[in-house]
Amino acid sequence: MLSAAGVCLLLDTGGPGLPRVRHFGAALGAAGAEDADLAPVLASLAAAPPLLPAQGDGWYGRPGLAGSRDGEHWPVRWSLDRVDADARPGAGGTATIAASDARAGLALVSELGMDAGGLVTLRHTITNTAASPYRLASLECALPVPARAAELLDFTGRWALEKVPQRRAFGHGVWSRESRRGRTGHDATGLLVAGTPGFGFRAGEVWAVHAGWSGDHVHHAERVPEGVALLAAGELPEPGEIVLRQGESYRTPVVYFTWSGDGLDTASARLHEHLRAARPLPVRPVTLNNWEATYFDHGLDRLLELADRAAAAGIERFVLDDGWFRHRRHDRAGLGDWYVDEGVWPGGLHPLAEHVRKHGMQFGLWFEPEMVNPDSDLARAHPDWVLGHAGRLPPPQRNQQTLDLARPEVYAYLLERIDALVTEYELDYIKWDHNRDIAEPVHDGVPGVHAQTLATYRLLDELRARHPALEIESCSSGGARVDHGILARTDRVWTSDSNDALDRQSIQRWTGLLVPPERMGAHVGAPRDHVTGRSLPLAFRAGTALFGHMGVEWDLTSASEAELEELAEWIALHKRLRPVLHAGRVVHADHPDPSALLHGVVTPERAVYGYVQLASRTESAPAPLRLPGLDPAARYEVRVAGPAPAAAAMPGWTAGPVRLPGAVLAELGLPAPALRPASVLVIEVARA
C-alpha cells in the first residue's frame, strides 16, 4: 500500500498474475494491506483489474497491451516474477513489478510511484524475449475508478482558443481522446477527469490522468458492464512504428494519476507540487517579447527604443522573436538557416544584446528548430532531411516542413547552430517554437513521430547540459505542446497565441489545472488584440497577465505616457506579489455567477485573489466574494491592490483594509463591487 497526503493506492500482489489495483483514492486510515479484517472486503472486489488489463485476467474492455507477431499468436498471461516495494507510510513510495510470459515471448517491468504530495506515476517497459519481431500496437497505463465516478471532464480547443472544457456522463463504453498531430495539439485534453456528478473546483471527488508525452498520444475512460471503470493514457504509435527485435524494449512515457476528495483544486495542486519539486525555478523575470510589437521589422533603432521603454516600465527580460536569421523577411523563407542575417544585422545581434544588458535586462532569442522552409539554404542543400517519404513531400503547412531530428546529421546541425548562438550571445533564454502539426512523418521507412519526439527531448536535454542556466520556453503556435513531458525539459509554456485577455481568462483557468502559474506565459497585449480584434482596457489586460509568468507583447513605443506609467505600476505589483503568485496553491471559488470568476493563489501567510467580471450580470446585485483556501482559524487583513481604477474602494472598505477570520472570508465572504464587464479586481490578503 502506498499512501501520502490523504491518498492511498492499494495493490493486491497475491498473484499468480500481475498485481490488481484494489483501491485508488482516499486514505484508508489505520487499515493496511495485511489487515485481516480487510481481506473479505478485498475479496469482494474480484473484478478489480490488474496493472495491465487483459482478457486472461477477466477484463473484456480495451487491453492494456496490444501487439502481434508474424506467425503464431499467443495471448499474454503474465506470471509474476517479483515485486520490489519501498512503501513509506504517509510519504508515498515505489513499487517495481516484474512479470513474464515465456510462451508469448514477452517480459514486463511496471514502475509505480507515489510522491509525498499524493501524485501517482506509472510507466511500463516491455521487452521481446522471443526470436521473432514483436510489433507493438499499444501499451497504456491505467488505474481503476469507482462506480461513483459518473461524470467526465475533458478539454478541446483550437489555435488561439485552447483548453475549452466539455462534460458528459461516464456511461458504458470507451470515451477516447486521441491526438495524431505529431505534437500534443491545440485540441489535446491535457487532463481527462472522472468525478462524482457535479464536481467543481472545491467540491466533489475527482480522479484524473495525464500522459507526459509530447507526440501522438491517447487518454481514455472506459466502463464495462461488469462494474469496473478505469482511466488510461499512453503513447499512440502508428502501425509498424515500434517493432521490437529480440532483446529490445519499449518504455512508455510517464503517466500521471491524481485524486482529490474536495474538487479539482486539490487534484491540480498535486500536479503542480510534483513539477515544482522535480525542477525548482529561479525568480521568473517579467518578459517583453517583440513579436506583436514589430513582427518582421528588425530595424535596430526601433528595437533599441522598444528596449528603452521596456526597461523604464520595469521589464527584466527582452526576447527577440522571429525574423533575425538569414532570408527571414516573411514567414515563407529562411527557417532552418540559423545564422544571423548579415544584411539586417551587419554587426550581428551584439548591438541589441549589449543595449538590453546595459539596462540590466536578460536577452533571449526565438528559434523554431524542428521546422524548415522549402525556400531556405538548408532545404536546398539537404532535401533528404525533411521528415517524410523520400519520394513524396508531406502536405505543407505554414509554408514549412518538419526536419527529421532522428537523423544524426540533422540533430548534429541543430545542436551546433543553437549551441553556437547561445554561446556567442550568452543567451539567457530561448523561445522554442513548433508552428505546425506533423503530417505523414516517415523516418527510415516507418512512422516517425516516436523517434522525432525522443530526438527533440535529447536535443533539449543536451542544450540544458551544456548551458545549465539557460531557460527555455516551449511555444507551439501557442499552447499546442503543453504536457509534462516537455515541461520536464523547459521552464515555461506559451499558453496561447491569443493575448485577448477575455479569452485568456478561460485559457489560463483550464491550462492551469496542469501547469502552475510560474510556468504559464501570460502577456499584456496591445489595446486592440491582433487575433480577435477586440479592444480591452489596460487594467483588465494587466490584471489577467498578473496571475501567470507575466510579460508584455505590445509596441510600447506607441503607448502614451499615462499607459506606460500604469503598466509600470502593474509590473511593480507583480514583482511584489511574485513570491505568492509563483509559490502558492492555486484556488478557484465555485462562484455562483456565470458572468464572473474568482480565483487566487494562497500561501500559509499571504494570498492574492482576482475577481473577474467577464460579462454583464443577470442579477442586479453581485454575489459575495467567498475567498477559498484560507486557514479558517487565522485572522486576515484584506485590501484591494493594483493601480486605479482597479483599486476603486469596495463597499465598506473606504476607511481602509478589513480584518476578518478565514472562516468568515470563506463562508460569508466579502461584499462584491459592481464591476463593469472586462474588469478585474485584485485582492491582497495577509495574516493579521
For residue 645, the domain's CATH number is 2.60.40.1180
* Residues of the domain holding 111: 2-278
CA 687 → CA 265, 446, 636, 644, 658, distances in Å? Answer: 22, 60, 4, 25, 12
Count of Cβ atoms closer than 10 Å to residue 29 Cβ? 8
- How many angstroms from the chain centroid is the CA of residue 247? 34
- 439-457 mean pLDDT: 97
Q: Are 466 and 427 in contact (CB under 8 A)?
A: no
522-531 pLDDT, tens digit per residue, is: 999 999 999 9
Q: Does 314 map to a domain?
A: no
Decide if pLDDT at 433 tops 60.
yes
Domain contains 30: yes
Reported as a single tens digit per residue, the pLDDT across 228-239 is: 999 999 999 999
- Tell me, yes or no, whether 463 lies in a domain: no
Query: What is the arithmetic mean of pLDDT over 407-434?
Result: 98
Q: Is residue 608 within 8 Å of 577, Cβ to Cβ? A: yes
The answer to whether position 453 is within a domain reads no
pLDDT at position 651 is 55
For the CA atoms of 34, 39, 43, 49, what is the dihedral angle to 10 degrees?
-20
CATH number at residue 179: 2.70.98.60
Tell me: pLDDT of 13 over 60: yes
Mean of the pLDDT values across residues 489-495?
A: 98
- Band of residue 514 on the pLDDT scale cut at 50, 70, 90: very high
Q: Looking at residue 101, what is its pLDDT?
A: 97
pLDDT for 323-361, tens place per residue? 999 999 999 999 999 999 999 999 999 999 999 999 999
- Average of pLDDT values for 616-639? 95
User: What is the rounded average pLDDT of the residues 509-536?
Assistant: 98
- Statement: residue 645 has pLDDT above 90: no
DSSP 91-116: BEEEEEEEEEETTTTEEEEEEEEE-T
Evaluate if residue 649 carries a pLDDT over 60: no
pLDDT at position 43 is 66
377 assigned to active site: no
pLDDT at 653 over 80: no
- The helix/strand/coil state of 679 is strand
Q: Could you read off the pLDDT of 108-138 as tens digits, one per residue?
A: 999 999 999 999 999 999 999 999 999 999 9
Which of 216, 404, 428, 497 does the annotation list as catalytic?
Answer: 497
Q: What is the per-residue pLDDT for 650?
A: 59
Whether the predicted pLDDT of 655 surpasses 60: no
Q: Is residue 424 part of a domain?
A: no
The arithmetic mean of pLDDT across residues 626-642, rounded, is: 96
Query: Is 511 a member of any domain?
Result: no
Confidence (pLDDT) at 73: 85
**Options 433, 483, 503, 529, the catalytic residue:** 433
Number of independent structural domains in the chain? 2
Q: Tell whether 496 is covered by a domain.
A: no
User: Distance between CA 669 and CA 318 in Å, rounded?
Assistant: 41
- Residue 165 belongs to some domain of the structure: yes
Strands 442-443 and 371-372: unpaired
* pLDDT at 38 > cutoff 80: no
Mean pLDDT of 579-593: 98
Percent of the chain with pLDDT over 90: 91
- In this predicted structure, the answer to whether residue 40 has a pLDDT above a threshold of 80 is no
**Mean of the pLDDT values across residues 362-386?**
98
482 and 190 in contact (C-beta within 8 Å)? yes
pLDDT recorded at residue 16: 84
Residue pLDDT, tens place only, 43-102: 666 568 899 999 988 899 999 999 999 888 889 999 999 999 999 998 999 999 999 999
Interval 577-601 mean pLDDT: 98
DSSP three-state, residue 627: coil
- Which of 211, 246, 278 is the C-terminal boundary of a domain? 278
Euclidean distance between CA atoms 189 and 185, whole angstroms:
9
Over the stretch 87-110, which tens digit does the pLDDT of each residue have? 999 899 999 999 999 999 999 999
- The overall average pLDDT reported for the chain is 95
Among residues 278, 307, 335, which one ends one of the domains? 278
Task: Determine the straight-line distance between the first and last CA of the chain, rounded to whole angstroms.
Answer: 41
**Beta-bridge partners for 638:** 658, 685
Per-residue pLDDT, 652: 54
Question: Residue 576: pLDDT above 60?
Answer: yes
Do the beta carbons of residue 128 and residue 244 sit within 8 Å?
A: yes
Does 497 participate in catalysis according to the annotation? yes
pLDDT at 354: 98
Looking at residue 14, what is its pLDDT?
84
> Per-residue pLDDT tens for 215-264?
999 999 999 999 999 999 999 999 999 999 999 999 999 999 999 999 99
Taking CA atoms, 174 is separated from 62, 123, 140, 569, in Å, by 8, 21, 14, 51
Residue 33 confidence (pLDDT):
54
User: Which segments of 427-516 does DSSP mark as H helices, in order?
Assistant: 449-466, 484-487, 501-511
Give the domain-ending residue among 252, 278, 304. Answer: 278
Report the DSSP pairing between strands 679-687 and 520-525.
Answer: unpaired
For residue 648, pLDDT over 60 is answered with: no
